[in-house]
Amino acid sequence: MNLFSRQVFKEPLFQFLIIGLVLLGGERLINAKDYSDDQYSIFIDDQLLAQFMQREAKSFKPEDALKTIQGLPLSERQRLIERYVQSEVLYREALGLNLERDDQIIRRRLMQKMDYLAQGFYDEKAPLTEVDLRAYYDTNREDYIRVATATFTHVFVASGKDLSWEKGETRALKLLKGLNAGQVPFENSGLYGERFLYNRNYVNRDDEEIASHFGLNFKQEMFSLVLSNPPDSLKWQGPLKSNYGWHLVLVTKKTPMYIPEFQDVSAAVLADAQRQQQREIKQLAIEMLISKYQIIDKTEPK
Amino acid sequence: MKTIIIMLCAMASAMAGAEATKNVYFGDTHLHSSYSFDAFLNNNHSADPDAAYRWAKGQPVIHPYNRTRVQIGTPLDFLVVSDHAEMLGVMKAVREGTMIKEDLGWIGNIKRWYAFRLMNEAIDTDTGLQFFGQFLPKIATDKDHSDPVQNPSNNISRVNIFGDMTQTSKRAWDDIVESAERHNDPGTFTSLIGWEWSSIPMGANLHRIVITPDGADKSKQFLPYGSDQSQYPEDLWQWLDETQQRTGTRFIAIPHNSNISKGYMFDNTTLRGEPIDADYARRRIKWEPIVEVTQIKGDSETRSDFSPDDEFADFENYDHYIQQGKSEYKGSTADYIRPALKKGLAIEQDIGVNPYKFGLIGSTDAHSGLSSAEEGNFLGKMAKDSTPETKERVGSVSSSNGWNMSASGLAAVWAEENTREAIYAAFKRKEVYATSGPRLRVQMFAGWDFPENAAIAEDFGAIGNQYGVPMGGDLIATGEDNKAPSFLIRAVKGPVDANLDRVQVVKGWVDNNGQQQEKVYNVAWSDNRELSAEGELPDVGNTVDLRSGRYTNTIGQAELAVLWVDPDFNSGHSAFYYTRVLQIPTPRNGLLDSLALELDKPPRGPKTLQERAYTSPIWYQSQ
C-alpha cells in the first residue's frame, strides 16, 4: 500500500491530475462569485436589480436607479426580485432547452454582433497603393461617368399664357430669320426676346439641369442641334418648345456622356476603393471563421 | 431739408460689373453625422462625413438605418458637416472599442465601464433614444426667467463619467476636417468646416453652429468649443476671438431653433439677466450676422400669438422642448425672428447698436448624415424616423415624434462663385436667404430711383445693384422727407418645384410712442387675383389630391417680379423690410407617409403646406 501510494505519487499522470486539481480549485476560490452563479443558483445584488429595473422601465440613469433601489420599501423590492427571478429562470430554462437555436431574432442579433466585430479588422491592413487604385478604376470605370453637358444661349418668346402657342411660334420664326440674317453673336442674345425665368446663357450645364429648366423634350431636341462655331458658322436654330414658350437656340458646345481619366477622379476612386477594401477585409475575416468548420453537405441536388 | 445724401448710386455703379455676375447657391450649414453622440445613439452608425458629402454631391448612398440606397433629388452646392462638439466622436469610439481612455482610478474606471456597457446595451436593444435622454437637461422649474445656467437643477456633470474625452474627440475632429478637405472642390462643390456648440441650460435651446472658411492647416490647431466648456454665448464669442487671434482662423456663429429657447435666444437682456449694452450688442452682431430661421425642428419666423394679422403665421410650428420629461410649450417674442428684428430696432434706439441685425438662412439639422429637405424625399430628423412605420417612436425623450418633423430647409447664397471665400463673404454681408426646402430663387433690392421697367428688365440683378442695395444691406435716408423707398423683387420657382402663390414684404418698425409695429404687404401674386381694399388676397387654391399625394402646377405662376413702393413710409422711423415668398399648397411629408400606411390622415401635422422663402432684411436707417 505504502509502496503503491509512493509509486502513484511518482506517476506523471497523477502529478498532472493533482496540479490540475489545485489550479482548478484555486481558480474556483478566486472566482467564487462567478461560480455561485451556477446552474441552479441565482445571484442578486442591488447593482443587478438596478440594471434590471432600468431595462424594465426603458429608462437609463445609473445613479438614480441605484438610489431608487436602495430606497425601495421591502415589499416592492421583493416584487422586483420576484420579477427578476422569474425572467432569469425563464431565460436559463430556455437556454437549457436550446430554444435559442432556431430563433431567427436571436440568430440575427448574434450575427449582427459578429459582423460588427469583423469590421474591426480594417485598420490593420496596409494602405492602398496607386496600382491598387488604378486597378479598381479599371474595373469600375462606369461608376465615374460624367453626364452630358452643353453650352448654349437662347432667345425666349413666352407663349401659352398672354400669347397663344401658335402666335408665339409665328413670332419666334420671324425672330429666327432676323437673328440669322444679322448673324447675332452669342453674347448679344440678351438684346432679343423676353426674359426667361431661369438663365439666358447655359455654360457647360448638365443635361439634367437643362431638362429641369426647359423640360425633357427641349433637352433632347437641343442635344440634336448642330454646333455653331463662329466665325465660320453661326446658326440660330429652333424654335424649340419648353413648358414656358418657344426658344431660339445657339449651341456652341456639346459634350456627350464620358468616362473621365483616372487622374481626374482619383479622390473619388480612393474613397470608393477604401470602402471596397473594408468590405473585402470583413468578408475575409468571416471566411477565416468559416474555414474552421468542416461542412458536411448532404443536400441532394437533382 | 436734411442734407446728408449718400453717394450709394455712384458707388454701386462702379461695382455693377462684378455684382451682376452673382449666382445663387443652395446648401446646408447644419448637418450631423455618426460622429454626433445623439445621431449615433439614434441609429446613425454608418453615415459619416464622407457619406454626408457623397449624398450632398448627388451620389447614391446607403441609408444608415433602413440600409436602402437613397439619393438626393437635386444635389447641393455646399455643405457644412456640423457635429456636436460635446462628446464628439465618443459614442462611435466606445461602440467600436477605439476610445482613448484616461485613467479615472479604480472606481472611476468601473463607473465608466458600466456607462459604456449601458450604452452598448441601449444600442443593442434599440433604446438609444432613452439612453440619450439622460444627457438632456431636466424640466425647467424656472418661473422668474432668471439665468438658466445657474439654476440648481441645471446639472450636466453626468457626462463626466466618461472622463477626459479630448483625445478621442481630437481624432474625430481630424477625421471630420480631413473629410471636408477631400470633398472641397472649388467652383463645383464647397465644404465648409464647422461644428455645433450645444448649450441647452434647463432645456432652453441656445445652440449655435460655428463655421470657418479656413482649411485644415488652421482648423487642426483647435478642438471645437463645446457647451461643456461654457453654456454662455459670451464665452463662445470670447473663445472665437482668442482662437482667431491665436491661429488666424475666421468664424461666424449661427443661432438656430430659437423657437424652443424658452424665451432666451433674442431676449431683452443677456443670458445672465444683465441689460444689453453697446459692447455686448457689437460682439453679438460681429459673431452672429445670420440666424437659421427654418429647419426640421420647425420654423422660427413668427406665431399668430404676436403676429395676429398675419394669415400665414404659425408655419410649421414645433412646440416640443429638448429635455427630460414634458412641459407645456410657451412661445415668447424672444423665440422668433420677426419680433427679434423689431426688438433689435428698439434696443438700437436706446444704446445705439442693434444686436439683432441679422440675415436669414435655413438648414436641415438632420442627424442622419443626409441633408434632406425635399418634401417627397425626406429622410427624417434622426436615422430612425426615416421610414413611415418608424415615425412614431415609442418612448421618445421629447414630446415630439417623426410626424412633427418638417422637411426643411435650405441656405441660399448670392455669391460670385462657389468657393469657401465667396460663400463666407456672402454670409458676412447677409446676402443670403432661407427656404423651407424648395429651390426658390429670390432677389430683393431697395433703392430710391429704380428705372420704371426694372421689374421686367433682362439685367434685373445689375439694375438692382446699380440703383439699390441687395438683401442684408442698409438703406440710408435721402433727406427728402416725402420720398418713399422702393423695392425691386423677383421670385422664380425651383425648376422641379411648385408654382408661386404670392410675394410679400414684411415691414417692422418702432413708432413715435416707442411701440414695436409690423405689417405684411402682398406685393405680387399669381392668376390675376384682385387685392381687397384692406390689402387682402383670395386664396390661391389647392391642387393637392389627398388620395394620391400629387399636385399640379395649374394654379400659381412660375415667376413673380415687382417694383413696389412702401405706401406707409415715415422717414423718421427706422425700419426693416424682408421678402416672404409663398408657393402654392403641396403635400407635406407626413401626408405621403400616411398614404403609404393607408391611414385616414397623418397622426400629426397638416396634410398640405405652403413652402416659402424668407430673405434677409434690408434696414432703413432714419436720420
Q: What is the pLDDT of residues A74-107, one digit of tens each?
A: 888 899 899 999 989 998 888 888 888 877 777 7
From B430, B455, B487, give the residue that closes a domain.
Answer: B430
- With CB atoms and an 8 Å threshold, state whether B118 touches A60: yes
Same domain membership, residue A71 and residue A200: no
Domain assignment present for residue B3? The answer is no
Same domain membership, residue A272 and residue A239: no
Per the structure, the complete domain to which residue B346 belongs is given by 23-430
pLDDT: which is higher, B599 or A19: B599
- With CB atoms and an 8 Å threshold, state whether B456 touches A195: yes
Residues 6+ apart with CB under 8 A from A240: A214, A217, A218, A221, A222, A246, A247, A249
pLDDT, tens digit (0-9, with 9 covering 90-100), for B81-104? 999 999 999 988 888 877 777 777
CATH number at residue A160: 3.10.50.40
- Picking from B74, B115, B492, the nearest residue to A198 by CB comes out as B492
**H-helix or E-strand spanning residue B490:** strand B486-492
Same domain membership, residue A236 and residue A173: yes
Q: Give Cα B351 to chain centroid, integer Å.
A: 28
- Picking from B131, B459, B558, the nearest residue to A60 by CB comes out as B131
Domain assignment present for residue A195? The answer is yes
Same domain membership, residue B279 and residue B219: yes
Domain assignment present for residue A295? The answer is no
pLDDT: which is higher, B113 or B60: B60
- Chain B residues with CB inside 8 Å of A60's CB? 118, 122, 127, 130-131, 133-134
Same domain membership, residue B439 and residue B320: no
- Chain A residues with CB inside 8 Å of B134's CB? 59-61
- With CB atoms and an 8 Å threshold, state whether B124 touches A267: no
Same domain membership, residue A156 and residue A23: no
d(CA B552, CA B78): 30
Looking at the predicted structure, is the pLDDT value of residue A109 above 90? no
Instruction: Give yes or no for B77 touching A (CB within 8 A).
Output: no
Domain assignment present for residue B2? The answer is no
In terms of phi and psi (left: phi > 0; alpha: psi -120 to 50; beta: otherwise), the region of B257 is left
- With CB atoms and an 8 Å threshold, state whether A271 touches B133: no
Nearest chain A residue to B181 by CA distance is A267
Tell me if B44 sits within 8 A of B369, measured CB to CB.
yes
Grid coordinates representing B299 are 420654423
- Picking from B114, B127, B559, the nearest residue to A197 by CB comes out as B559
From B404, B430, B456, give the residue that closes a domain.
Answer: B430
Q: How far apart, in Å, are the Cα atoms of B120 and each of A63, A102, A224?
A: 18, 25, 59
User: In b/e form, how buried is each residue of A224-248, taking b as 16+ CB within 10 angstroms?
Assistant: ebeebeeeeebbbbbbbbbebbbbb
- Chain B residues with CB inside 8 Å of A197's CB? 492-493, 558-559
Instruction: Give yes or no for B601 touching A (CB within 8 A).
Output: no
Grid coordinates representing B63 are 441609408
The domain tally of chain B equals: 2
- With CB atoms and an 8 Å threshold, state whether B118 touches A62: yes
- Chain A residues with CB inside 8 Å of B496's CB? 212
Closest CA to B318 of B402, B196, B428, B437: B402
Looking at the predicted structure, is the pLDDT value of residue B195 above 70? yes
* Chain A nearest CA to B281, separation (Å): 40
* Chain A nearest CA to B577, separation (Å): 24
Beta bridge partners of B298: B295
Neighbours of B233 (CB within 10 A): 24
Helix axes A130-139, A266-291, angle to 10 degrees: 90
- With CB atoms and an 8 Å threshold, state whether B127 touches A58: yes
- Chain B residues with CB inside 8 Å of A119's CB? 96
Same domain membership, residue B339 and residue B376: yes
d(CA B378, CA B592): 10
Q: Give Cα B131 to chain centroid, integer Å.
A: 27
Grid coordinates representing B174 are 481630424
pLDDT, tens digit (0-9, with 9 covering 90-100), for A252-274? 999 988 999 999 888 889 888 88
**Residue type (1 letter), B275:** P
pLDDT, tens digit (0-9, with 9 covering 90-100), for B395-430? 455 688 899 999 999 999 999 999 999 999 999 999
- Picking from A190, A209, A244, the nearest residue to B558 by CB comes out as A244
Domain assignment present for residue B193? The answer is yes
- With CB atoms and an 8 Å threshold, state whether B97 touches A213: no
pLDDT, tens digit (0-9, with 9 covering 90-100), for B264-294? 999 999 999 999 999 999 999 999 999 999 9
User: What is the pLDDT confidence band of residue B4, given thresholds at 50, 70 and 90?
Assistant: very low
pLDDT: which is higher, A16 or A51: A51
Same domain membership, residue B462 and residue B408: no
Burial class (CB in 10 A: 0-12, 13-18, 19+), A277: middle
Q: How far apart, in Å, are the Cα atoms of B177 and each of B29, B99, B119, B192, B429?
A: 15, 19, 27, 9, 25
d(CA B240, CA B214): 13
Same domain membership, residue B323 and residue B458: no
Sheet holding B468-470, edge to edge: B468-470, B441-447, B486-492, B559-565
Q: Could you tell me what percent of chain B has a pLDDT over 70?
A: 93
Same domain membership, residue A221 and residue A73: no
Same domain membership, residue B331 and residue B263: yes
User: What is the pLDDT confidence band of residue B473, given thresholds at 50, 70 and 90?
Assistant: very high
The average pLDDT across B511-531 equals 95
Beta bridge partners of A154: A249
pTM assigned to the model: 0.79
Per the structure, the complete domain to which residue A114 belongs is given by 103-141+261-283
Same domain membership, residue B361 and residue B291: yes
Same domain membership, residue A114 and residue A62: no
Domain assignment present for residue A91? The answer is yes
User: In b/e form, how buried is each residue of A99-137, taking b as 16+ CB within 10 angstroms?
Assistant: eeeeeeeeeeeeeeeeeeebeeeeeeeeebeeebbeebb
Domain assignment present for residue A76? The answer is yes
Radius of gyration of chain A (CA): 39
The domain tally of chain A equals: 4
Helix, strand, or coil here: A115? Answer: helix
**Residue type (1 letter), B430:** K
Closest CA to B175 of B93, B72, B57: B93
Domain assignment present for residue B1? The answer is no
Same domain membership, residue B417 and residue B447: no
**Residues of chain A whose C-beta is under 8 A from some C-beta in B?**
51, 54-55, 58-62, 109, 113, 119-120, 190, 195, 197-198, 200, 209, 212-213, 244, 267, 271
Beta bridge partners of B578: B506
Burial class (CB in 10 A: 0-12, 13-18, 19+), B160: middle
Q: pLDDT at position A62, please?
A: 73
Helix, strand, or coil here: B143? Answer: coil
Backbone angles phi, psi at B295, to 5 degrees: -165, -175
Domain assignment present for residue A50? The answer is yes
Same domain membership, residue B371 and residue B451: no
Domain assignment present for residue A294? The answer is no
- With CB atoms and an 8 Å threshold, state whether B460 touches A195: yes
d(CA B562, CA B263): 37
Looking at the predicted structure, is the pLDDT value of residue B12 above 50? no
Backbone angles phi, psi at B620, to 5 degrees: -95, 130
pLDDT, tens digit (0-9, with 9 covering 90-100), for A27-66? 666 666 555 556 788 888 888 888 888 777 656 667 778 8
